[in-house]
Structure 1
């Protein structure tokens, strides 16, 4: 049975970390300064938004969950503004007032482009952060999840007292890490580095196998329950201490700004876990939330209605909580297919150029999807399409073709195969059914011998008449 959407209002969370104020100056740029070759921005609007750990809290509040926030600020105007913004959305703040100024990150924005960022910050000292464990301990009984949001500004330089106290109180501990030493997070339940942060700790990654090997070793070394690696356009990889894996492709979106995407991910994870969701389901929701927030400019949040609508759109009628449709690499596809087969799901495979998607393609893919539980669409590379179809083709690049196909409800995974035929890919993933459209018998299907040799089926389906990419292109060229 598909899990229900979480009731975030029943999710109490405590966030401890580096709070800051994100300050945006918006204006028009119409001339260059006579003093230096730089644009002059006529500032028309100032917007102050809570950033860092405070942005994590804002994301939690936006989802409708209950949040308490602990951090360090100065005794200044920025701290007052920060407190006002957080109070306005119902976040319960417990700030340690330090001798240093509140951290401010100022950005100059013109025509939806960031021209300059200015940081006003001095890292907080251990003495300033020392009271936080005692401040937070009484609050642990009121919460289910502790999120440590580390921006390497000193607040979480020594987080072990927080981790141990929270674990003793029965909280799940999630960490958004920074720096090259993750040993300070030992004993947490989940750490969520991005790929660059992960590689800064374990070294360069050259393959999916190496990523898994190093992730598992890090889990052992840190005595943590799981590791979630966020991988930008390659999605997310969740690795459990017990060996289980979940690899989610990124959901295709036009990226406007990645600022704060990590905050949205860990806020959604924490909120979903506090609301009683499994870690796997929480990661799926976080992947959807990340796709929403990167389409927004600046430090942004995701609301519960936004998340629910996007989640339902991508889950579709046939998707389970195991994966979300999307473009994947060959290595990711192999892992996803292996997991699907372990669950007893039947895998259907088809391939082609799919240059300009038309009614014939949609009908054919829908029919193919009905033959099993999962549908893989493998597409030719751009060079291969040119070789097969001639100069001027493809009309759409492989990346665009994958994006369009991934948007279809009937398609689970889209991948791009090397070479002119998918034979190597068929040998690796061994789908249950190989499907091809045409008016020939199965011996005309590339790879049929491979599939039947391991006991799979080959099916040839008829195509919708008068639907052809080549015919569409020719008709356009005649106009």
Structure 2
């Protein structure tokens, strides 16, 4: 598998079309039963809104660096306004159609001690007239995209999906469908459909044996005019089935926390990887690994390129290749992590020759939060600070080594002359929750500390491991 293709994830220009929803979560503790009815009383302490349905598919694509827009129907109401704000925060372009006669679909969940107590669905199914509005809008914008992904949640906005797919294929675009209809011929012309096992059986698929599954799937895609089926099979993994080939991918054995949204992650990852230039077999392999990662998270979660490529390295028995987030994309990734409620830790240094002291220090820094950002002095900055013989290793190589550490999530270079060789300006851009520095500094001596404290963050000073320093390593090399 060519991991260098991960550098081209932003090549994806995808339009997601389908049933968009607002997922609302009310979190709280439950310690008693209501005197009014035999139900738990939940004292709500946190409210959380997330993009749901087709919007969650778009969110998954955005978190994988794909360029994505969302076409669907919302109401002229508070839920619709909230959803549009969420899309903006997630860097999803909105092609949403607002309707005064129809509410935004909203699903409200009460969560206590990581368990869902109840779900309230506020929704009305869309009509063919609503679907016609989407078809008209799709006709106007389809030329702007390379891939069109239909996310069908059986709410009616895709009632005219046959005409939609015909329109997209006539524009010579790639079509992927996450289906809900029992009659898969509705998706005629699609390049890929991604039914789960129950949807496959509801559509007439047979599952008596592997050969029966293969023959049945091929019969369906032949009769329905579909190019390929990615059949998701829960604990049995996935199967990519075409008229001529079948590839099986075993489930990634992980502790399952929540399967919510796993199908969204699969089709989103498949789309982005295809757009980056991966062959279908490799793209499905990556999508399978992404599903294994996302089911270990609570709620409709997403995966990011960094964690996906780390998992790929383990899965491929460590190829020696490590994906390094392009420096220009890191700030967007940090913003997405903050939106997900993750704690951002920042530290900085030259890290010219990585040694045990660095590794221990970075692990300690990462343990303070969810994500660790390392500001890395560029080559010119190190030369000014350490002398003309430094750095020993150039910026790109130092960044690659740091990125390969499990404790490091992102690396960002700094040290332009106008920054005076301090990370103060970069710290203001990142705006971390925790600033960490190693050595015997006091807080008032640490660049950026005043800013972080003013934003409500905190500053931590860690001790270096005695006897470990790049200068000592270089001195020892020279004496030998």
TM-score, normalising length: structure 2 = 0.65
For 2:107 and 2:313, how far apart are their aligned partners in 1?
35
For 2:218 and 2:210, how far apart are their aligned partners in 1?
12
**What does the per-residue CA deviation read over 1:354-385, in whole Å, with 9 as the maximum and x for residues that have no partner?**
xxxxxxxxxxxxxxxxxxxxxxxxxxxxxxxx
* Deviation of the 1:184 alpha carbon: 0.8
User: Residue 152 of structure 2 corresponds to which residue in structure 1?
Assistant: 150
For 1:237 and 1:285, how far apart are their aligned partners in 2?
13
SS at match of 2:95: strand
**Structure 1 contact 229–237 (Cα < 8 Å) conserved:** yes
User: Residue 417 of structure 1 corresponds to which residue in structure 2?
Assistant: none
**Structure 1 contact 145–273 (Cα < 8 Å) conserved:** no
**What does the per-residue CA deviation read over 1:319-364, in whole Å, with 9 as the maximum and x for residues that have no partner?**
99xxxxxxxxxxxxxxxxxxxxxxxxxxxxxxxxxxxxxxxxxxxx
* Deviation of the 1:43 alpha carbon: 0.6
- Of residues 161, 164, 179 in structure 2, which corresponds to 1:162? 164
Indicate whether 1:266 and 2:267 are aligned: yes
**Structure 2 contact 258–299 (Cα < 8 Å) conserved:** yes
**Structure 2 contact 313–319 (Cα < 8 Å) conserved:** no
* Deviation of the 1:138 alpha carbon: 3.3
User: Residue 301 of structure 1 corresponds to which residue in structure 2?
Assistant: 302
For 2:149 and 2:2, how far apart are their aligned partners in 1?
27
**Structure 2 contact 131–156 (Cα < 8 Å) conserved:** yes
User: Residue 194 of structure 2 corresponds to which residue in structure 1?
Assistant: 192
**Structure 1 contact 96–128 (Cα < 8 Å) conserved:** no
Structure 2 unmatched runs, 5+: 322-480
* Deviation of the 1:4 alpha carbon: 2.9
* Deviation of the 1:302 alpha carbon: 1.1
**Structure 2 contact 27–112 (Cα < 8 Å) conserved:** yes
**What does the per-residue CA deviation read over 1:266-310, in whole Å, with 9 as the maximum and x for residues that have no partner?**
111111111211111110111011111111111111111111111
User: Residue 281 of structure 2 corresponds to which residue in structure 1?
Assistant: 280
* Deviation of the 1:164 alpha carbon: 1.3
Structure 1 unmatched runs, 5+: 321-479
- Of residues 216, 226, 229 in structure 1, which corresponds to 2:218? 216
After the TM superposition, which residues 368-387 of structure 1 pair with which residues of structure 2 at under 5 Å, given as runs?
none
For 1:5 and 1:307, how far apart are their aligned partners in 2?
13
Shifted more, 298-307 versus 10-19: the winner is 298-307
* Deviation of the 1:97 alpha carbon: 1.6
**Structure 1 contact 60–267 (Cα < 8 Å) conserved:** yes
**Structure 1 contact 22–299 (Cα < 8 Å) conserved:** no
**Structure 2 contact 192–230 (Cα < 8 Å) conserved:** yes
| Alpha-carbon RMSD | 1.6
For 2:46 and 2:5, how far apart are their aligned partners in 1?
38
User: Residue 21 of structure 1 corresponds to which residue in structure 2?
Assistant: 22
* Deviation of the 1:318 alpha carbon: 7.0
For 2:191 and 2:157, how far apart are their aligned partners in 1?
20
User: Residue 179 of structure 1 corresponds to which residue in structure 2?
Assistant: 181
**What does the per-residue CA deviation read over 1:394-429, in whole Å, with 9 as the maximum and x for residues that have no partner?**
xxxxxxxxxxxxxxxxxxxxxxxxxxxxxxxxxxxx
User: Residue 91 of structure 1 corresponds to which residue in structure 2?
Assistant: 92
For 2:173 and 2:55, how far apart are their aligned partners in 1?
20
**What does the per-residue CA deviation read over 1:238-286, in whole Å, with 9 as the maximum and x for residues that have no partner?**
0012x11110000011111011110111111111111211111110111
